């Protein structure tokens, strides 16, 4: 290994250490309560050294959020994507939202940081950086539109509102599980399936939805006082 390659490897190792330490601190102490100095102390570096990798605490958050959304989208799982395409239209919708719940189980820290912490910066500030996340959400909306076009859902259904309803429901179950607010003996996995099944059944029945088309739920934390 040459000197340049070794330097790049060492630099990436430090960057990884910064992100891992920041993620742990943001989740356990809350984003607003963590400083660059505290992150530096966790990895035994100076604050000045941290700034050599990230311009600000916000920049660290955006890097973590980008990682989280890519893990949610699971872009490297080609077999799963191929399997998904073989499912009936409504089952694809179901699988997409179950994947969101599975993400909260597999990556609870990323989930909590992106969707639960009210003090983190708005992801919409980094519009270009998160284009892939908006594309992911658009793909889900297109899946629901496909169900409408096929007659599985009523023609009057707004696919964006339907996406929002399903997303809020499944994220709510995930938040209950992570915050340990479930009743004794209650199974979060079963509750997640029930929420999806009930919502899909309601959409199929033609239940009137009062909501109107909303901003992309992936542009900002879901549980946010300003987003209600």
How far is the C-alpha of 85 from the C-alpha of 213, rounded, in Å? Answer: 27
Phi, psi angles (nearest 5°) of residue 56: -165, 170
Residues forming CATH 1.10.10.60 domain(s) in the chain: 3-54
Give 213 or 114, the one with higher predicted confidence. 114
What is the model's pLDDT at position 74?
66
CATH code 3.30.70.1380 for 3-54 = no
In three-state secondary structure terms, 15 is helix
How many residues comprise the chain? 228
Contacts of 141 (CB under 8 A, 6+ apart): 159, 160, 163
Whether residue 227 is predicted with pLDDT greater than 80 in this model: the reply is: no
How far is the C-alpha of 145 from the C-alpha of 152, rounded, in Å? Answer: 10
The tokens describing 77, both together, are: 């799982």
Model pLDDT for residues 17-50, shown as the tens digit of each residue: 999 999 999 999 999 999 999 999 999 999 999 9
Contacts of 195 (CB under 8 A, 6+ apart): 169, 170, 172, 173
Give 86 or 195, the one with higher predicted confidence. 195
What is 66-227's CATH topology? Answer: Tetracycline Repressor; domain 2 (1.10.357)
* Residue 214 binned pLDDT confidence (cut-offs 50, 70, 90): low
- pTM summary value: 0.84
**DSSP characters over 31-72:** GGG--HHHHHHHHT--HHHHHTT-SSHHHHHHHHHHHHHHHH
What is the model's pLDDT at position 77?
66
Using a pLDDT cut of 70, give the percent of the chain over it: 91
First to last CA, the chain: 53
Average of per-residue pLDDT across 168-189? 95
Residues forming CATH 1.10.357.10 domain(s) in the chain: 66-227
């Amino acid at each position: 290994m040459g000197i340049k390659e070794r330097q790049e490897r060492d630099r990436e190792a430090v960057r990884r250490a910064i992100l891992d330490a920041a993620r742990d601190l943001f989740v356990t102490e809350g984003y607003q309560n963590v400083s660059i100095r505290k992150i530096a102390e966790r990895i035994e570096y100076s604050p000045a050294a941290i700034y050599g990798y990230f311009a600000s605490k916000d920049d660290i958050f955006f890097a973590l959020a980008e990682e989280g959304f890519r893990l949610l989208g699971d872009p490297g799982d080609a077999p799963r994507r191929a399997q998904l395409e073989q499912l009936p239209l409504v089952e694809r919708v179901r699988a997409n939202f179950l994947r969101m719940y599975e993400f909260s189980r597999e990556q609870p820290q990323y989930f909590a940081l992106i969707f639960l912490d009210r003090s983190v910066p708005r992801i919409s500030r980094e519009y270009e950086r998160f284009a892939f996340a908006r594309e992911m959400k658009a793909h889900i909306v297109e899946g629901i539109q496909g169900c409408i076009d096929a007659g599985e859902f009523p023609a009057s259904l707004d696919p964006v509102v339907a996406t929002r309803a399903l997303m809020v429901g499944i994220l709510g179950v995930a938040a209950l599980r992570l915050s340990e607010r479930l009743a004794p003996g209650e199974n979060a996995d079963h509750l997640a399936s029930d929420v999806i099944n009930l919502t899909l059944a309601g959409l199929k029945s033609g239940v009137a939805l009062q909501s109107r088309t909303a901003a992309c739920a992936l542009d900002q934390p879901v549980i946010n006082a300003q987003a209600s």
